[in-house]
Structure 1
Amino acid sequence: MIQSSAGVLLVLTGIVGFFFFLEKQFRWKLFQYLPPLIWIYSIPVVLSNTGITPFQSPLYGGLKAYALPVFIVLMLLEVDFGAVVRVIGRGILVMLMGTMGVVVGAPVAYFLFRNQLGPDGWKGFGALAGSWIGGTGNMAAVAGGLETPPAEMGLAVLADNLVYIVWLPLLLASRAWSGRFQRFTRADADRVERLEAAAGTLQKKSKEVEMHHLVFLAFLGLGAAALAGWIASHLPEIEPILTASTWKVLLVTTFGIALSFTPARHIPGSHAVAMAIIYLFVASMGARAELAGLSRAPAFLAAAYVWIAIHGLFCLAGARIFRVDIHTAAIASAANVGGAASAPVVAAYHREALIPIAVLMALVGYALGNYLALLTAQLCYWVGGS
């Protein structure tokens, strides 16, 4: 029914805006279990499979070529590595152990279920690894770089949310295990108080966005995208991972991290603009997915639960090795699996003063997510016998 790029863009932006309006306006408990992301992906799937919107549109290619690199740059601008080292200390090492659990757990789970997954299942695992190391933005970026089929992206979105339903309550409930966990890890008794004091010293970026801020952000994002595209076109392709698309994602990620060390980090509005673009990009991927590909959902989900269990074991090992408290360990896992959306929620439930630390951890995940998720995809490709 709708064929023009303008019409498709109108539908997709309407879907994104509608579900975030519902979440903000009514705060339904449904969104605690099925957050807007899964609706933003699944509704376009239904629309395209019922003939309302097209499976192919110039808009989709335009979003991948321009929106994808721009949001990568913008979501990385806020990373503050100096503050991470100064404030979080050993806690960041626990998060990195959890990240290692994601990288190691993926090929293990993929190997166990490889015969029940499609030939491109490793690309879906790469996209999911992007989410579990960084966040939704990394999932979208890695999926774009790997040219993940929309059906595999749908499985990744589904697994991400259904695992989240189980994993988040466990992270919240872990607060009750504080005493026993401290004896297990031998954490210092005053560690949490020191973390809270350090978190109080962090400087907050202004939230007042003016017109020239948006112009600066657009210039930085488009400039980094253009430079990355030009360099990527001159680099050798090594199939199946290092294609021109993945080179571009890696280069833009590097440029975004480099810009985070400059005064550009203080430009307000970067996170909000990046998230708006991310959800629009995810909606466009849903619009290209065919329902037939979702038949592999049970195997993909079973593999994802094995995968998250391995991540959890790595987090426990990290907490024991580096002697941290349950609050830090739970936030570290949430910063991986849930990203910037979930880590502050877990922090608020455990110790509200630790929310700034949760945000810092999530931003580190943003910085690492694209690199390590592509590595994870390569490992899955190898263990799958491809």
Structure 2
Amino acid sequence: MIQTGFGYVSFLIVFCGLAFWITTKYSHLRVFQILSPVVIIYLGISICATAGAFGATDSVGAAQGMISGNLLPCALVLLLLNADIRKIVKMGPKLVLSMLGCSLTVVIGFILTYLLLKKVLPEDSWMTLGAISGAWIGGSENMVAAAQILGLPDNNMTYCLLMDTVVYGIWISILFAMVNKADWFNKWTKADTSMVENAIKQIEEEHNDTTIIPLWETLAVLAVAFGVGSLSQYVAKFLPVTTIVAFKRYMPSLGLHRKNSRLSSVP
């Protein structure tokens, strides 16, 4: 069991590196054509956490808080550095409609599930399903906000958190694994993905440069990432604060250690 923050961070870095190395070196194997490095990392870390590989110590909790509160914003900046806003704007209407369509189908799915199973479900199960649907279209914070608006009892919130964690983990892994089947799915649904494919092709051509990046450029990119991350934390102090989202009272019912939960960064 890992008890120190340094050991925890080191394990994450080594595990991620091994996942990418193995899937690249043995890419000819069928299993790695289905399971991408992201899926392996997601499932692997989740299994390790569930198996108790990470101790519920102050050091590990501080490391998790540092990653989610400090490194995650910097990583998002690095992720978006290559984003071409002009191409995104051109796809804007379709992207927005796709997002709204996905959100609508999630809500309809929960409604149909309730209508089909309401005879065997508890009387107030509609509130539970309503809160979970809020999570799947707007995140965990949206789930708690919906639960409080609907008046969902605290004991029912336990089921929401379990389903949001367990089912979400399984479903997102399936989606990642199905990425390689996207062409087949698009053909089956007769979806026109030419605009997205052209944008991806242009991006690949623009970044198909194998020139070794000088050290100073690497440091400059990291400086931008950490600078924007630090600035965002400073600006956040002046933003309004809401108390509508409060996970603390739901943690004991799940037996979760707040510092080691995936919701630890939520007030």
Verify same fold: TM over 0.5: yes
Find 1:161's aligned residue among 173, 192, 198: 173
| Corresponding position: 1:226 with 2:230 | yes
Do the aligned partners of 2:23 and 2:32 also contact (CA within 8 Å) in 1? yes
TM-superposed CA distance for 1:18, in Å, is 1.5
Q: Which residue is 1:343 aligned to?
A: none
CA distance in 1 between partners of 2:173 and 2:41 (Å): 12
* Preserved contact between residue 70 and residue 225 of structure 1 (Cα < 8 Å): yes
Q: Is 1:30 paired with 2:42?
A: no
Structure-2 separation of matches of 1:165 and 1:44: 16
Q: Quote the Cα distance in structure 2 between the aligned partners of 1:6 and 1:43.
A: 19
Q: 1:230 to 1:173 in 2, by over 3 A?
A: closer
Deviation at 1:202, TM superposition (A): 8.9
Corresponding residue for 1:238? Answer: 242
Give the C-alpha shift of residue 169 in structure 1.
3.0
CA contact (8 A) 2:39 2:176 kept: no
CA distance in 2, matches of 1:166, 1:221: 31
Distance 1:102 1:215, change over 3 A: same
Q: Distance in 2 between matches of 1:105 and 1:127?
A: 16
Find 1:204's aligned residue among 194, 201, 206.
Answer: 206
Work out the CA distance in 2 between the residues paired with 1:200 and 1:42: 32
Higher deviation after alignment, 105-114 or 12-21? 105-114
Structure 2 residue ranges without an equivalent (≥5): 115-124, 141-159, 246-258, 263-267
User: 1:22 & 1:201 partners in 2: Cα distance?
Assistant: 26
> Which structure has greater helix proportion?
1
Relative to structure 1, the CA distance from residue 7 to residue 235 in structure 2 (aligned partners, 3 Å threshold; closer, same or farther) is same
Going from structure 1 to structure 2, the CA distance change for 1:104 and 1:33 (only over 3 Å counts) comes to: same
How big is each residue's C-alpha offset from its partner over 1:142-188, in whole Å with a ceiling of 9 and x where there is no partner?
xxxxxx9798355333212324556753642544887xx89xxxxxx
CA distance in structure 1 between the aligned counterparts of 2:88 and 2:78, rounded to whole angstroms: 19
Q: Which moved more, 1:222-231 or 1:41-50?
A: 41-50
> Aligned to 2:83, what secondary structure does the other structure show?
coil
Report the residue type matching 2:138 in the other structure. Answer: G
Match of 1:63 among 61, 67, 79: 67
Aligned to 1:76: 80
52-61 or 9-18, larger mean C-alpha shift: 52-61
Cα drift, residue 62 of structure 1:
0.7
Q: How many Å apart are 1:53 and its aligned residue? A: 2.0
Question: Hey, what does 1:97 align to over in structure 2?
Answer: 97
Q: Which has the higher contact order (CA 8 A, sep 6+)?
A: 1
Shift of residue 55, structure 1, vs aligned partner: 4.1
* Partners of 1:23 and 1:31 within 8 A in 2: yes
Residue type of the alignment partner of 2:74: V
C-alpha spacing 1:35/1:230, structure 2 compared with 1 (3 Å): same
Corresponding residue for 1:107?
107
In 2, the alpha carbon distance for the partners of 1:119 and 1:3 equals 38
- Cross-structure match for 1:303: none
CA distance in 1, matches of 2:203, 2:56: 50
CA distance, structure 1, for counterparts of residue 11 and residue 21 of structure 2: 15
**Whole-angstrom distance in 2 between the partners of 1:223 and 1:203:** 29
| 1:331-370 CA-partner distances (Å, limit 9, x unpaired) | xxxxxxxxxxxxxxxxxxxxxxxxxxxxxxxxxxxxxxxx
Give unmatched runs, 5+ long, in structure 1.
129-147, 183-191, 242-286, 291-386
Inter-CA distance 17–210: structure 2 relative to 1 (3 Å threshold)? same
1:152 alignment partner in structure 2: 164
Between structure 1 and structure 2, the one with the greater Rg is: 2
Residue 7 in structure 1 maps to residue 7 in structure 2: yes
CA deviations 1:293-333 (Å, max 9, x no partner) are: xxxxxxxxxxxxxxxxxxxxxxxxxxxxxxxxxxxxxxxxx
Whole-angstrom CA distance in 2 between matches of 1:35 and 1:201:
21
Distance 1:169 1:98, change over 3 A: same
Give the C-alpha shift of residue 240 in structure 1.
4.1
CA contact (8 A) 1:125 1:156 kept: no
Q: Is the 8 A contact 1:20 1:36 kept in 2?
A: yes
Is the contact between residue 69 and residue 225 of structure 1 (CA under 8 Å) also seen in structure 2? yes
Q: CA deviation at 1:30?
A: 1.5
Note closer, same or farther for the CA distance 1:174–1:151 as it changes in structure 2 (3 Å cut): closer
Q: CA RMSD in A?
A: 4.3
- Cα distance, 1:4 vs. partner? 1.1
Query: Structure 2 CA distance, aligned partners of 1:175 and 1:227?
Result: 45
Q: Helix, strand or coil: the match of 2:206? A: coil
Q: How far apart are residue 75 of structure 1 and its match?
A: 1.1
1:126 aligns to 2:127 (yes or no): no
- The DSSP-based 3-state class of the residue aligned with 1:3 is coil
Would you say how many aligned residue pairs link Structure 1 and Structure 2? 212
Q: Does the C-alpha gap of structure 1 residues 80 and 239 become closer, same or farther in structure 2, counting only changes over 3 Å?
A: same
Normalised by the length of structure 1, the TM-score is: 0.44
Tell me if structure 2 keeps the 8 A contact 1:127–1:153: no
Aligned to 2:47: 46
